[in-house]
């Protein structure tokens, strides 16, 4: 996770993890305890911003989850940055639909099955990436 000190200098907080659930996104500390939980109705956007480099030198992407006035940035190690950015992009319409529904009710209906498939897919990708980054899985 990326955060900022009092001088607005970026600081990497290693070991944080994300869990995508049907109800929203859970952010966990390195010891496994919850740092925050955001329901899909609170999330205004999810995006894979750009390809980057993890602190240990591996290829990664910067992922942003915006919730109200807070933007959370995560460095997610991946061997296929374009693919992961594309997978994360599947969440963007879901968040926009929720936002529109709260605002003017102009959102198109998204089937619960589509939402479930997208969440399972993203959760599986994030889990695999975390296992790879932890050295549990090797390719």
Task: Give the residue extent of every domain in the chain.
Answer: 2-133
**pLDDT confidence of residue 58:** 87
DSSP the chain: -EEE-TT--EEE-TT-EEEEETTEEEEE-TTS-EEEEEETTTEEEEEEEEEEE-TTS-EEEEEEEEETTEEEEEEEE-S-HHHHHHHHHTHHHHHHHHHHHHHTS-PPP--HHHHHHHHHHHHHHHHHHHHHHTTSS--
pTM: 0.57
Per-residue pLDDT of the chain (139 residues; tens, 9 = 90+): 877 778 878 787 888 888 877 777 888 888 989 988 888 788 887 777 788 888 788 888 888 888 876 788 888 888 888 888 777 777 656 665 555 555 444 445 566 777 777 777 788 788 888 877 877 766 6
């Amino acid at each position: 996770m990326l955060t900022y000190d009092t001088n607005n200098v970026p600081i990497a907080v290693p070991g944080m993890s994300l869990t995508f659930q049907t109800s929203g996104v859970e952010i966990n500390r390195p010891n496994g305890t919850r740092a925050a939980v955001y329901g899909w109705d609170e999330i205004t956007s999810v995006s894979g911003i750009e390809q980057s480099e993890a602190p240990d030198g591996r290829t990664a992407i910067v992922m942003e989850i915006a919730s109200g006035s807070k933007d959370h940035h995560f460095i997610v190690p991946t061997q296929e940055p374009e693919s992961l950015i594309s997978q994360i992009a599947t969440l963007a319409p879901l968040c926009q639909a929720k936002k529109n529904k709260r605002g003017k009710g102009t959102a198109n209906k998204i089937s619960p099955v589509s939402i479930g498939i997208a969440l399972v897919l993203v959760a599986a990708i994030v889990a695999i990436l975390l296992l790879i980054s932890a050295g549990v899985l090797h390719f």
